[in-house]
Chains A and B, each alone.
Chain A
Amino acid sequence: MDMMFLAQVGSTSTEILISKIVDGLALGAVYALLALGFVIIYKATQVLSFAHGALSAVGAYLVSYFAVVWNIGGRVAGGAPQTIQFFISAIVGIAAAAVVGIVIERLFIRPMIGQPIFSIAMITIGLDIMLRTIGNDFIGQGANRSLGQTSLATGDTIGAPWGLTNFDLGGITIPHSYLATIVVAVFAMVGLALFFRSRTGIAMRATAFDQEAAMAQGISAGRIFALAWGIGAALAAIGGAFAAIPPRNFGVNNFTAFIALRAFPAIILGGLDSIIGAVVGGFAIGLAEVLTGHYLASFTDTIGIGFNTIVPYLLMLLVLVVKPYGLFGTPEIRRV
Chain B
Amino acid sequence: MYNDVVLVLRGLSIEVGDGQIVALLGANGAGKTTTIRAITGLLDVHEGDVTKGHISFNGEHIHDKDPSAIVRAGIGQVLEGRRVFAEMSVEENLRTGAYTNRDKAAVERANDRVMDLFPILAERRKSTAGYLSGGEQQMLAIGRALMADPSLLILDEPSLGLAPRLVQQIKEIIVGINEQGTSVLLIEQNANMALSISNFGYIMETGKVVMDGDPVKLLADEDVQEFYLGLHSDEGGRKSFRDVKHYKRRKRWLS
Structural contact, A219 and B96, CB atoms closer than 8 A: yes
Write the A106-137 contact mask toward B (1 if CB under 8 angstroms, else 0): 00000000100000000000000000000000
Write the A6-37 contact mask toward B (1 if CB under 8 angstroms, else 0): 00000000000000000000000000000000
CB contact under 8 A between A217 and B66, given known A205-B88, A212-B42, A212-B83 = no
Structural contact, B86 and A216, CB atoms closer than 8 A: no
Top 5 closest A-B pairs, CB basis? A218-B71, A218-B100, A213-B83, A206-B96, A220-B68
Which residues of A in the span 214-229 have a Cβ within 8 Å of any Cβ on B? 214-220
Interface centre among A202, A206, A210, A216 (most CB of B within 10 A): A216
Chain A residue with the shortest CB-CB distance to B75: A218
Number of interface residues of B (CB under 8 A): 27
Write the B25-42 contact mask toward A (1 if CB under 8 angstroms, else 0): 000000000000000101
Interface centre among B85, B92, B145 (most CB of A within 10 A): B85
Number of interface residues of A (CB under 8 A): 18
Main SS of the interface on chain A?
helix
User: Is A211 among interface residues, defined by CB-CB distance under 8 A?
Assistant: yes
A212 and B99 CA atoms in complex are apart in Å by 15
Which B positions have Cβ atoms within 8 angstroms of A?
A: 40, 42, 45, 47, 66-68, 70-72, 77, 79, 83-88, 92, 95-97, 99-100, 144-145, 148
Please name all residues of chain A whose beta carbon is closer than 8 Å to the beta carbon of B40 when the two chains form the complex. 216
Which A positions have Cβ atoms within 8 angstroms of B?
A: 114, 199, 202-203, 205-206, 209-220
A211 and B96 CA atoms in complex are apart in Å by 12
Please name all residues of chain B whose beta carbon is closer than 8 Å to the beta carbon of A217 when the two chains form the complex. 71, 96-97, 99-100, 144-145, 148
- Whole-angstrom distance from the CB of A39 to the nearest CB of chain B? 15
Structural contact, A210 and B83, CB atoms closer than 8 A: yes
Chain A residue with the shortest CB-CB distance to B72: A218
Give 11 A-B contacts (CB < 8 Å), ordered by A residue: A202-B88, A202-B95, A203-B96, A206-B88, A211-B45, A217-B97, A217-B145, A218-B67, A218-B99, A219-B99, A220-B68
Please name all residues of chain A whose beta carbon is closer than 8 Å to the beta carbon of B96 when the two chains form the complex. 202-203, 206, 214, 217, 219
Please name all residues of chain B whose beta carbon is closer than 8 Å to the beta carbon of A209 when the two chains form the complex. 85-88
Please name all residues of chain B whose beta carbon is closer than 8 Å to the beta carbon of A214 when the two chains form the complex. 85, 96
Please name all residues of chain A whose beta carbon is closer than 8 Å to the beta carbon of B97 when the two chains form the complex. 217
Our pick among B45, B99, B144 for the contact of A199 (Cβ within 8 Å) is: B99
Structural contact, B67 and A215, CB atoms closer than 8 A: yes
A158 and B249 CA atoms in complex are apart in Å by 86
Please name all residues of chain B whose beta carbon is closer than 8 Å to the beta carbon of A205 when the two chains form the complex. 85, 87-88, 92
Chain B residue with the shortest CB-CB distance to A215: B67
Structural contact, B88 and A114, CB atoms closer than 8 A: no
- Whole-angstrom distance from the CB of A250 to the nearest CB of chain B? 43
Chain A residue with the shortest CB-CB distance to B81: A213
Chain A residue with the shortest CB-CB distance to B92: A202
Structural contact, B148 and A218, CB atoms closer than 8 A: yes
Chain B residue with the shortest CB-CB distance to A198: B95
A214 and B85 CA atoms in complex are apart in Å by 9
- Whole-angstrom distance from the CB of B32 to the nearest CB of chain A? 16
Please name all residues of chain A whose beta carbon is closer than 8 Å to the beta carbon of B88 when the two chains form the complex. 202, 205-206, 209
- Whole-angstrom distance from the CB of A268 to the nearest CB of chain B? 21
- Whole-angstrom distance from the CB of A40 to the nearest CB of chain B? 15
